[in-house]
Amino acid sequence: MKLRRQRFENALAYNWPLFLVLPVIAGVAISYLFGIYHRPLPYEQINIFAAVQDVDSDSLCDNLQVRFSSQNLKEVTITSANPNDAIFPQKLSVVGYNRADLFILPFSVLNDLGPNGVMLPFSEELKDAYINDDDSTYYVDESLTFGVLLKSASNVSWLDEYIDFLSEDYYLCLNVKSKNIADFGMYDNAEYDLALQAFSYLLGDGQ
């Protein structure tokens, strides 16, 4: 073939969009493959659902990321919703129940939703291992403990720096479907307890 260059120029003149579109498609496919392959596994991420006015999610996520980076935490996400918004119940049931590991909920919301079947009832073993304060106040429903007081309406918390709480008592709860709560929930994976460690960390003083 002596006129390869001329043939190439002819092809370029007629099919030049192909020369651009094919690399773009390849680039998108490669990027997608990398994204899929490196997507954090359920036990490498923590999802928090916060029923608050506002939250500085970037700073709080960074804080948790730094704190647990040595424990293979790859991603932290915080979804916030204001309980006074009309869309709040849908957001809680669709995003919260399906994705969240931890819930930061005010007393009124906990009371309305009825946590049985959604939140993890705390066992004595869980309390001993992950709640350091013996004087903690719990949210109890039908003699089961579903939440621990994170911040009372009258007190200040280290989380005030990141979260704009409503003037209510706030409880920290765990999703029964979380894969990050060792073997306390629905899944028997004792070695993955990142959500419980984050739970313990949030209940502490941020140190």
Partner 1 sequence: MEVVLEIEKEQTKFVKRKKRYSFILILSLVLFLLGAALMVVLSPDEYFTLQWILIILATLYIWGLIYFISVPYKMVKQYDAFYRSYSRGIIEHEKLTITDFDSTIKINKSGLEVCTLKTTCIDKNIVFEREVYVTDEKFSLPKGMIIKARLFRNVLLGYEVSK
Q: Which residues bind partner 1 (CB under 8 A)?
A: 1-4, 6-8, 10-11, 18-19, 22-23, 26-27, 30-31, 33-34, 37-38, 74
Q: What CA–CA distance (Å, rounded) separates 104 from 50? A: 5
Shortest spacing between CB 19 and partner 1, in angstroms: 7
CB 107 within 8 A of CB 171: yes
Nearer CB in complex with partner 1: 1/190: 1
Nearer CB in complex with partner 1: 36/86: 36
Distance from the Cα of residue 46 to its chain's centroid: 4
**Backbone phi and psi for residue 194, each to the nearest 5 degrees, phi listed first:** -60, -40
Cα 121 to Cα 45, 60, 117, 168, 189: the distances in Å are 22, 26, 9, 22, 17
Nearer CB in complex with partner 1: 29/94: 29
Shortest spacing between CB 60 and partner 1, in angstroms: 22
Shortest spacing between CB 23 and partner 1, in angstroms: 4
Q: What CA–CA distance (Å, rounded) separates 183 from 178? A: 10
Nearer CB in complex with partner 1: 12/153: 12
Show Cβ contacts of residue 130 under 8 Å, excluding neighbours closer than 6 positions.
196, 197, 199, 200
Shortest spacing between CB 62 and partner 1, in angstroms: 17
Nearer CB in complex with partner 1: 7/153: 7
Shortest spacing between CB 105 and partner 1, in angstroms: 33
CB 123 within 8 A of CB 144: no
